[in-house]
Structure 1
Amino acid sequence: MILCAGESLIDMVPEGAHYRPLPGGAVYNTAIALGRIGAPTGYLWPISRDGFGEMLLRPLAEANVDTGLCPRSDRLTTLAFVTLTGGEARYAFYDEGSAGRMLAPEDLPEIPESVSALFVGGISLVPDPCGAAIEALVERLHPRVPVMLDPNIRPFFISDETAYRARLERLLARADLVKLSGDDLEWLMPRASFEEAAAAILAKGAKVVLQTGGSAGARAHWQGAPLDAPATRVEVADTIGAGDTFNAGVLAALHRSGALSRDGMADLTPETLLQALTLGTRAAAITVSRPGANPPWQHELDALPA
């Protein structure tokens, strides 16, 4: 089972003069996408007992995502008000004292042996105590399972840049797969090219650094020559959840090939990695073709032209 640990929230998406509440959150979106395309998936994050918490649980259940590790909380659900500019999403978070924000390392449950990989990232890495909890989970699991990290950096959410950079450095040293967008790179290593950044991260121990570029497709930097997968051409509604869905496609493809294990990551082949990139870009294309974070089901991927 692929365990996704990190934020869920409600995206308040503009709809005319009003806002429409939609379940979201970077790590939550990846869990939903994994479940919809048939990968065995678990989710770990506190879920509020408020009405928004129930709204978050419903898509997880529909996608067959295991929520047995999710503690329930009387604290409120995080809200993210979305502004769309040219299809690009920007966010304002209402998060102080929320159910997820207050997750502490001592609140982490025992992780079953059925967990075979861990995915973390997003804003859950930024504040404490939840950032410390996710870091503690990575520290606990990375000796036995592959870890994928997508920092999905939101600069306006970071109040202590020094502490956050230090946490990312520690996490990068424990990640097997790292995904970076152009925005992530600009904040993380502002004077570096993607090639330079990837080389630096690979030197820390990662097996693959995934570079996403929207309509430019995706590239994998690893021990061999870089591999590229083109973007699938669609009419873009907005980009909410695109990178999260890409992550799910990559993880699902690696799981299906048997590569999502300690031994499998050590023996990656170009064919396996290219299949993962391709599923990631195809899945993301369906997500951007419709409003909000609404990842595809497997039957929708099957119907997409080759």
Structure 2
Amino acid sequence: PDAPTALVMVSVDERGVPLYTFYGSGTADRMVTQADLASVPADAAAIHVGSYCMVVEPVASALRALVDRQRGRSLIVYDPNVRLTIEPDVDTWRESVRWMQRRADVLKVSEEDIHALYPGMRVDTFIAQSLEAGVALVVVTWGERGVVAVTRSQLAVEVPAVPVTVVDTVGAGDTFQAGLLAWLQRAGKLTRRAVEGLVQDELVEALRFAARAAAVTCSRRGADLPYTSELADVEGFEFF
């Protein structure tokens, strides 16, 4: 769209946890409409959506239309990535999560986001609700405690976090998601059926790869995602 780019200012606290300030009224990221969807190929292998673009208009309606169009064609992947500083209405976020739980094949969410939207809810309760709604794979990141994932076939695995000296965590969740999708793509598992059929060793390997990628991002300032070549020399992280 003929609109300015959003500006995001990031500061971090003493633990490296980021605080985001957005300057984004009327910016291009929000102004995507359903008319723009013709440029998205119908044979796209995966569609990833998330964060505030699922709760602000007109882009939210456009992305919902895209998800509905691509269900059964593409792997639908979702990360709520809650930003209450942009949309403070928690109910709007909850409605978006419920809508996507009925449509997403892969749902990745942080423990922090679950607690922001559903104070007091147990992580396993959220996982169970998501699987019951139809999600094939739910992945919950726990920060320094690692990650847990459960499939519709009730395969459940936990992977510890990769030890790292944290500079800041900006982009860590996005890196994890990118690493997970990259692993699935390289393994030929970028379909709902393949995700549902993951065996324990495969799911553990996928989560470890994604966690290692996120750890690299945490080790340097800003959302500076690693290249796969940066992971190639780490034992256990051969990328095919």
> 1:232 and 1:303 mapped to 2: Cα distance?
15
Aligned length: 234
> 1:171 and 1:240 mapped to 2: Cα distance?
25
1:257 paired residue among 187, 190, 208: 187
Aligned-CA RMSD value:
1.5
> Whose relative contact order is higher, 1 or 2, with alpha carbons under 8 Å and at least 6 apart?
1
SS at match of 2:85: helix
CA shift for structure 1 position 164: 3.3
> 1:268 and 1:257 mapped to 2: Cα distance?
11
> 1:102 and 1:195 mapped to 2: Cα distance?
36
Gaps of 5+ in 1: 1-72
In the alignment, what sits opposite 1:35? none
TM-score by length of 2: 0.92
Identity of aligned residues (%): 36
1:279 and 2:215 are equivalent in the alignment: no
CA shift for structure 1 position 159: 4.2
> 2:227 and 2:39 mapped to 1: Cα distance?
30
Native 8 Å contact 1:254 1:273 kept in 2 = no
In the alignment, what sits opposite 1:62? none
> 1:164 and 1:193 mapped to 2: Cα distance?
18
> 1:283 and 1:302 mapped to 2: Cα distance?
11
CA shift for structure 1 position 276: 1.1
Native 8 Å contact 1:257 1:272 kept in 2 = no
1:235 paired residue among 130, 148, 165: 165
Q: Which has the higher strand share?
A: 1
> 1:266 and 1:232 mapped to 2: Cα distance?
26
SS at match of 1:258: coil
Q: Which moved more, 1:107-116 or 1:256-265?
A: 107-116
In the alignment, what sits opposite 1:85? 13
CA offsets per residue over residues 176-214 of structure 1, 9 Å max, x none?
111111211112322211111100000000011101112
CA shift for structure 1 position 124: 1.2
In the alignment, what sits opposite 1:28? none
Q: Residues 5-154 of structure 1: matches in 2 within 5 Å?
A: 73-86=1-14, 87-154=16-83
TM-score by length of 1: 0.73
Native 8 Å contact 1:125 1:134 kept in 2 = yes
CA shift for structure 1 position 160: 4.0
Gaps of 5+ in 2: none
In the alignment, what sits opposite 2:118? 189
